[in-house]
Amino acid sequence: MGKPLGGICSVAIDGQRYDLRGDVEILGDISREGVKGLDGVHGYLERPEIPGFNMTISDSGGLSVEVLKNFKDSTFNLNLINGKQYILRNGWTENQISLNPENGEIKLEFRGVKLEELLSL
């Protein structure tokens, strides 16, 4: 029997669940960049990155954009259909919120201090 690999997921911020539309990206906390010289590849540079999530949620009538843009020191939980869970701790709303009233979408960027990945058993 096949296992689900992707698709359905949910998000909660400080325990409050939001209507997740899509465009979910999970951003890790390390980046690597190759280093080359005239004589070949020398190795790579490793740098810390600010972990986070990008996503689009649905704009329900009771949803406050003011609340969304003021998240600070918050906990973000992303649960995937394959059983994985990602927890972003001490997080905040990054950049300007993009609201599209024509299709009822809000694009959000969240960043935080620590991203934990919990694997399914």
* pLDDT, tens digit, 9 for 90 and up, residues 20-79: 999 999 999 999 999 999 999 999 999 999 999 999 999 988 899 999 999 999 999 999
Query: What's CA 56's distance to the chain center, in Å?
Result: 10
Its pTM stands at: 0.88
Residue 121 has pLDDT above 90, yes or no: no
Distance CA 33, CA 48 (A): 12
Bridge partner residues of 47 (DSSP): 31
Kindly list the domain boundaries of the chain, sorted by start residue.
9-118
Identify the three-state secondary structure at position 67: helix
Any idea what the Cα angle at residue 18 is, between residues 84 and 57, rounded to 5°?
95
* pLDDT, tens digit, 9 for 90 and up, residues 95-118: 999 999 999 999 999 999 999 999
Q: Name the CATH architecture for the domain at 9-118.
A: Beta Barrel (2.40)
